[in-house]
Chain A
Amino acid sequence: MTNHWIDIKNADSILIMGSNAAEHHPISFKWVLEAKDKGATVMHVDPKFSRTSARSDFHVPLRSGTDIAFLGGMIKYILENDAYFKEYVVEYTNASLIVGKDFGFSDGLFTGYDAKTRSYDKSKWGFEMDENGVPKRDKTLKNPRCVFQLMKKHYSRYGIDAVSSTTGVSAENLLKVYKTYAATGKPDKAGTVMYALGWTQHTVGVQNIRSAGIIQLLLGNIGVAGGGINALRGEPNVQGSTDHALLYHIIPGYMAMPHNGWQTYDDYNKANTPVSRDPMSANWWQNKPKYFTSLLKAWYGDSATQENGFCYELLPKVEKGEDYSYMYLFDRMYRNKIRGGIIIGLNPMNSIPNTNKVRKALDNLDWLVASELHHSETTDNWHRPGVDPKKVKTEVFLLPSAHRLEKEGSVTNSGRWLLWHYQVVPPAFEAKPFGDMFVGFMQRLKALYAKEGGTLPEAVLKLDYPDKYDSDELCARINGRFTRDTKVGDKLYKKGQLVPSFAALQADGSTSSLNWLYTGSFTEEDGNKAKRRDTAQTDMQKAIGLYPNWAWCWPVNRRVLYNRASVDLNGKPYNPAKAVIEWKDGKWVGDVPDGGWPPLATGKGKLPFIMTVHGTGQLYGPGRMDGPFSEHYEPVETPVNSNMFSKQLSSPVYKFMSSDMDKLAKPADPNYPIVLTTYNVTEHWCGGGETRNIPNLLEAEPQLYVEMSPELAQEKGIKNGDGVIVESIRGRVEAIAMVTIRMRPLKVHGRIIHEIGMPFCFGWTTPGTGDSTNRLTSWVGDPNTTIPEFKACCVNIRKADKLTELAT
């Protein structure tokens, strides 16, 4: 989230799209309702009527996978009705930048497309620079090659009729949402966008969010109270686990994973440190070498020296352009190229697409380590229904893991708040924290390498790895320490003392930090700030519920990101009643500003979007794999065979697999005419591996069901409560029919299209509840993130003669 949970109450308009917040982030919804009580309009745009819709001012059903068409229509509406916040757009976004001559767009494709490699040459999308290397601007926004004009042209194609026919949303409903939300384009109004997996899980997931980003920038809704782009995030510590990068493509603190093209420490820094010649741009990432070097110092300790490039050479380098995410991992496993691995706190045999393939792939492992609270479809895959364990070679190590109540440590919520949880009781039975497992085998490995040697033993032996799992001490390592006596300002810090802020991190090896974003969270002066429980606020902070003294938030306790965009060029808040920051008597008050420079009007200021090279909000985003503007493409499995906006039916760059088990239904396949979307319920958590083991939760939601409209039920001769079979080209699933007006038939391309919805929290290890819904979903992914398209695939449904997976 750019903002935080409580801040939702400051919104005048709330667009919930790609999320069912009331059900999946139930407590967050109290802040939505508080805004509503104060007069905010709450809108829910989602295929299914849910608890969120019930508490919204209105619900607008749309066909899954058509969000960009919907939002593209809104962008056109905002531009053509002059509903945008002009000063903000001119001063703080890249609307005025001139795009280079090579950029173009025609019939669904941007320039630079190579059909052979299914990829774009992004160098075609750059900006025009002046003789000093500063981007050329036209603040009148009249130049036909400026971002504003190109954007206007791009989205001019998203007229109400084409959008309505694509999304299945009536013209009346479209205009209702557009008008209400566009009203937040006034300086003293704010609108917030709340989204979750309903946006990310598409082959155009990133561009769904980009579309919302464009809208929020046009309306001046980023950086202000009650605004922002708010990824609700799903999992319990998914913000923290992303910051610390349990991901192949980055290392902690959002820095790129080294690849083979960057052979040395200097190569890495050169390639990864952006340069801006614009004196107005802070270009914050120019500090990257400081963060990267401090990370290497934290990883390799005294072994990391300037002379050896801080042990950079020992690090693994991925192959440039190669993808090592789930999709590719399981495909390689299926092809017998993976020997073993560790799966903890995760149930991929239930919760990732094309489950029939991944279950088979897992059989190919020699060894598997798992750490869980309960048995799951993953830990027990070797004796799943229909499989003879005597034929499965995998050696499985299943370790009982401690519950969060049974260990202490920190987690980070979606609003980037760093929160401490104390140990309430010791771990039950022989359970232990994941931390003990990592330290346990790493210490053993170090001993083995010291004794026996092996391949590249120094990569392991030189690690400065903790010898016991101690969360408080690790928080200090994450924050970072001085590795020698160092002066910061006029204060002398001794070797071993904590670094006070990331501004003090250095690229010379004098500091270490496991994650620069968290530097400042644990200081000599204040201790571990995750433990702070102080509700004190100034009146200004209280007016928006900022709570700056409760715990701590990254970066540098800044609660609202890009908050300098909430004030005018003189530092005066656009909305004084809900000011985030204000320039008063020569300093900023309120929240921690995005850099302490004085207001821009002084001539000494910097543009507010400090993490972008040019300092401006990116209406035009040339860094994405699939284009600098969003464009509607159909989901890969789609019930229609044409795209109203171009000849390009699906994304030209989506990722896919080609094994014999990766089948895809062809567009408008008469065998699979129905759109399936998947979701969860309040009572169960994701794949359900934990919550199915809690009797009261299982009792509340005991069995797999499929929601369908009365119209479809009648067409198929299905009654409420009937057992049914849902089938895609990849698999079949049993479910109980729930016939409900919550699902509406939609008029798309001039005919009726049905959509059905299913939760995915049930699995065979809880007998009689049903088994993985994801046996139906397809393994195609977004080109930027490789997040699979869970939310839209094509299926058929029929009454079952006999049920074997469900207790009846």
Chain B
Amino acid sequence: MSDNIIEVRGLKKYYLGGQVKALDGIDADIKKGEVVVIIGPSGSGKSTFLRSLNLLEMPTDGTINFNGVNITDKKVDINIHRQKMGMVFQHFNLFNNMNIIKNMTIAPTQLLKKSKEEANEKALTLLKRVGLEDRAEAYPSQLSGGQKQRVAIVRALCMEPEVMLFDEPTSALDPEMVGEVLDVMKDLARAGMTMVVVTHEMGFAREVGTRVIFMDGGRIIEENNPKDFFENPQNDRLKDFLSKVL
């Protein structure tokens, strides 16, 4: 047995009958405890890759093993595996028809059959950790963007996932709120959570990433530890990209 949580082989995602190759053959392993940061220009396939990992996008070809199970197999019940893969979206996607505590407890009570008390207790502990315990009864529309995203992160954590997927979690935030969300993510990384993060925050990649992946044209062009990735890029497209964003 390897210590890979996720193994991706030959992953392809085509749109419009093959006219758009959003993913054009991706191989990647994610190890337990890694914080993998994915960067790349717009349209390079970062979101498609991340969303394929929990099958929000159905791959056109290739396999994804999660804990040794090929989840692209039709016979696999993906809902069971998604419980162990938390996802955080650019636009938060808190359930508008529920208050914060309900947002956080509905999945554990319905899917993990936790008691209401147990789920509430866990949710409140997590809310406290992100400084929002006094907003438990509020509705999503009453929170700021940064608060919503912190709730979205702890909502996913309530399911006790083995890996957390982030798709540009700070891109929709006002600049002054980016820090509070990144801080929560850093804490999570330090606590040993396995994370795959699509972001434009190069500081985050450098500081907490264990590995950085550069995507372009639906492929992985280069990957390395953050130090070498940023200080000694090999591929011309990466050099060009870094010269623009740094």
- Chain A partners chain B: no
Q: Footprint of A on B, CB under 8 Å? A: none
